[in-house]
A and B are shown apart, each in its own frame.
Chain A
Amino acid sequence: MTDYIMKRFLGFVKKEFLHIFRDFRTLIILFGIPTAQILIFGFVVSTDIRDARVAILDLSKDEVTQKISDKICSSGFFRRAGDLENYDDIDRVMKKGKVKAVVVFGTNFGHNLISQNKATVSIIADGSEPNTATLITNYMTAIITDFSREFAGSSLSSNLLVQPEVRMFYNPEMKGHFMFVPGVITLILTLICALMTSVTITKEKEFGTMEVLLVSPLKPLQIILGKVTPYFLLSFINVIFILLLSFFVFDLPVKGSLVLLLAESMLYILMSLSFGILISAVSKTIQQAIFISFLGLMLPTILLSGFIFPIENMPEAYNWVSAVFPPRYFIVIIKSIMIKGTSFLYVWKETLILTIMTTLFIGLSVKNFKVRLQ
């Protein structure tokens, strides 16, 4: 008897796989988008800088600061976007996004350099674009070190030192660097599990096949499980695929436990699947399902999860809004495991939150799934 039920179920799962593999668009979403995103985020987002706008706050205005400023701005990498008068201006121009970085020379720079053999120049970069910020500070540090060497050579005193001091505005710890892999994994899982699951179930409803299935001896639970099982498997394969891709193309290994990472991914897949089922329970048409998935999960994933815009930079209110959406926690988890190599002890809180959310969504979907199609 159980054998016969299992066979019936497997036949149903097989049908779902056929749907997936026969639809070109579905395949593109499943495998094309992850590849494209990893490659785009990996290569395009952070390769080179050119004519990056910098402002200079020169409180000494002496020969040395002039020379350093000229050297920076004539390098081809930077363009002088303006001169500032005081420290308050820094925040103003940075907030407006007019400049990517500000170079600050304190008072008596030249004098200090000659008398104390040491002077400090501050480089303040806009950390809300972590990749660019890193590049800018690296390039500038190199230019200043180069100047320091030349200057020391010409003045015959070899231990002259201009010391660059790097500061990041908005994102001091450079969180968000290499964020793209965790971000893409989150995005893809959300896309496949929530969006595609809700669409595939709603499709049966809209086309009338759901009614036939419900009249058949298949139980509603079997129908739902049969529909989501293929997506569960494919999402899992996708996680592994993305990890391999980021390892081989970007040398980004998983620092922490791979088993933990995969287990957490499964939890997130479950969460998204149950969210997808919930969406399909409340939507009557495919368009509705797509719309709800986008508003409810895709946009929060992209905008509020810290994937592209660091949560630290968000106004307090957005921070609270972001706390409601699950992707945020998964990104924290996956980032900690992948990049920092932390153990479960450091992500148990996020894991607990995701588990609670998953339970909540499953409960709601079960309650909401209209067995009787009313």
Chain B
Amino acid sequence: MKNTVISVKNLVKKFGSFTANDNLNFEVYEGEIFGFLGANGAGKTTALRILSGLSSPTSGEVIVAGYNAKKDPEKIKKNIGYMCQKFSLYNDLNIRENIMLYGGIYGMSKSLIEKRTEDLLEKLNFQEYGDRMISDLPLGLKQKLAFSVAVFHEPKIVFLDEPTGGVDPVTRRQFWEMIYETADRGITVFVTTHYMDEAEYCDRISIMSDGKIVALDTPAELKRQYNAESVEEVFVKIARPVNNQPHPPAPSSGGEVKTTYD
């Protein structure tokens, strides 16, 4: 039996008359890498904001790391890490200062921050460069560092919003190795991405379209269901339905999002 760290029931988020999230239902388990896919404007970002305590749901129940997103967003914030599309470290601070800042914000003690910083620099093979300004680092390393900072305080869940945008394939691969390592430590990884090959690396993926989750399963199972070679093909079939099919054949219409992972 897996522990549920994110539980979303009947989540609805409306902006005026526009429904950004239309009755979402899903669960994410501890230590899982959960891919959150969808075309631009499908409602991914809105859902991500609600999950990370930045935005409040219009209705429905959202439990993240044991706390209700509507009542206790502040408690959720203490238990998650976050890395956004835009680069999230300060260019005019050096590596150690950036880590010290974020560690301090999450209430870590100075000695713990210092110890973990050395561990991290060693892991990245970057011991001598701790005093380098972020602006002097190559993009790939910046992204890896941003990810390391996002999980520096050992959160229960880390949210990655298109973390590998603009990064070269080699770095992307290294980046995903870091993600795996993090998941192995028991930290749940919730990742949105545009790269379909990355979606293949996830334990489970959900695909959003027009504010709804239209598919949710392991990549292998989805490929089987949609008779596709790759997740990309699945995505294209779902997000841009051909032959006027509103949605491609799904295992069960409407409630398919309840598909569980075993």
- Beyond known contacts A211-B54, A217-B74: 10 more, CB 8 A cutoff: A7-B104, A8-B105, A19-B93, A22-B92, A208-B85, A209-B86, A212-B88, A214-B54, A215-B82, A217-B107
**A208-B84, A215-B77, A215-B80 known; A8-B107 Cβ under 8 A:** yes
Q: Which residues of A contact B101 (CB under 8 A)?
A: 11-12, 15
Jot down 14 A-B pairs with beta carbons below 8 A, ordered by A: A8-B107, A12-B105, A15-B97, A18-B92, A208-B84, A208-B85, A215-B52, A215-B80, A217-B105, A219-B74, A372-B55, A372-B56, A373-B49, A373-B55
Q: Do B105 and A216 touch (CB < 8 A)?
A: yes
Interface positions of A from 13 to 67, Cβ below 8 Å from B: 15, 18-19, 22-23
**A23-B92, A372-B54, A372-B56 known; A217-B106 Cβ under 8 A:** yes
B179: min CB distance to chain A, Å: 18
Q: Which residues of B contact A23 (CB under 8 A)?
A: 92
0/1 interface trace, chain A 195-232, chain B, CB 8 Å (1 if under): 00000000000011101111111110000000000000
A4 at the interface (CB under 8 A from B): yes
Q: Do B78 and A215 touch (CB < 8 A)?
A: no
Q: Do A373 and B54 touch (CB < 8 A)?
A: yes
A112: min CB distance to chain B, Å: 75
B90 at the interface (CB under 8 A from A): yes
A200: min CB distance to chain B, Å: 12
0/1 interface trace, chain B 91-116, chain A, CB 8 Å (1 if under): 11100010011101111000000000
Q: Do A208 and B97 touch (CB < 8 A)?
A: no
Among all A-B residue pairs, the 8 with the closest Cβ atoms: A208-B86, A11-B104, A215-B82, A212-B88, A22-B92, A217-B78, A216-B105, A15-B101
Number of interface residues of A (CB under 8 A): 25
B residues near A, CB below 8 A? 15, 49, 52-56, 74, 77-78, 80, 82-93, 97, 100-102, 104-107, 159
Q: Do A216 and B104 touch (CB < 8 A)?
A: no
A128: min CB distance to chain B, Å: 45
B238: min CB distance to chain A, Å: 28
Q: Do A207 and B92 touch (CB < 8 A)?
A: no
Q: Do B86 and A4 touch (CB < 8 A)?
A: no
B158: min CB distance to chain A, Å: 11
Q: Which residues of B contact A15 (CB under 8 A)?
A: 90, 93, 97, 101
Q: Which residues of A contact B100 (CB under 8 A)?
A: 11
**A7-B104, A8-B107, A11-B104 known; A19-B90 Cβ under 8 A:** yes
Q: Do B104 and A8 touch (CB < 8 A)?
A: yes
Q: Do B86 and A19 touch (CB < 8 A)?
A: no
How far apart are the CA atoms of A372 and B54 in the complex, in Å? 5
Q: Which residue of chain A has the shortest Cβ distance to B91 in the bound complex?
A: A207
How far apart are the CA atoms of A216 and B93 in the complex, in Å? 19
Q: Which residue of chain A has the shortest Cβ distance to B89 in the bound complex?
A: A209
Q: Do B90 and A212 touch (CB < 8 A)?
A: no
Q: Do B53 and A215 touch (CB < 8 A)?
A: yes
How far apart are the CA atoms of A12 and B93 in the complex, in Å? 12
Q: Do A215 and B92 touch (CB < 8 A)?
A: no
A155 at the interface (CB under 8 A from B): no
Q: Which residue of chain A has the shortest Cβ distance to B101 in the bound complex?
A: A15
Q: Do A209 and B107 touch (CB < 8 A)?
A: no
How far apart are the CA atoms of A308 and B89 in the complex, in Å? 43
Q: Which residues of B contact A11 (CB under 8 A)?
A: 100-101, 104-105
Q: Which residues of B contact A12 (CB under 8 A)?
A: 101, 104-105
Neighbour of A212 across the interface among B53, B84, B93, B107, CB < 8 A: B84
Q: Which residues of A contact B86 (CB under 8 A)?
A: 207-209, 211
Interface positions of A from 170 to 209, Cβ below 8 Å from B: 207-209
How far apart are the CA atoms of A214 and B86 in the complex, in Å? 14
How far apart are the CA atoms of A22 and B133 in the complex, in Å? 11
A248: min CB distance to chain B, Å: 34
Q: Do B54 and A218 touch (CB < 8 A)?
A: no
Q: Which residues of A contact B97 (CB under 8 A)?
A: 15, 18
Q: Do B77 and A217 touch (CB < 8 A)?
A: yes
How far apart are the CA atoms of A55 and B152 in the complex, in Å? 78
**A8-B104, A11-B104, A15-B101 known; A212-B55 Cβ under 8 A:** no
Q: Which residues of A contact B15 (CB under 8 A)?
A: 374
Q: Which residues of B contact A19 (CB under 8 A)?
A: 90, 92-93
**A7-B104, A15-B97, A216-B106 known; A211-B84 Cβ under 8 A:** yes
A26: min CB distance to chain B, Å: 10
Q: Do A215 and B105 touch (CB < 8 A)?
A: no
Q: Which residue of chain B has the shortest Cβ distance to A212 in the bound complex?
A: B88
Q: Which residue of chain A has the shortest Cβ distance to B15 in the bound complex?
A: A374
How far apart are the CA atoms of A22 and B105 in the complex, in Å? 21
Q: Which residue of chain A has the shortest Cβ distance to B159 in the bound complex?
A: A215
How far apart are the CA atoms of A207 and B78 in the complex, in Å? 23
Q: Which residue of chain B has the shortest Cβ distance to A15 in the bound complex?
A: B101
How far apart are the CA atoms of A218 and B78 in the complex, in Å? 9
Q: Which residues of A contact B83 (CB under 8 A)?
A: 212
Q: Which residues of A contact B56 (CB under 8 A)?
A: 372
How far apart are the CA atoms of A213 and B52 in the complex, in Å? 12
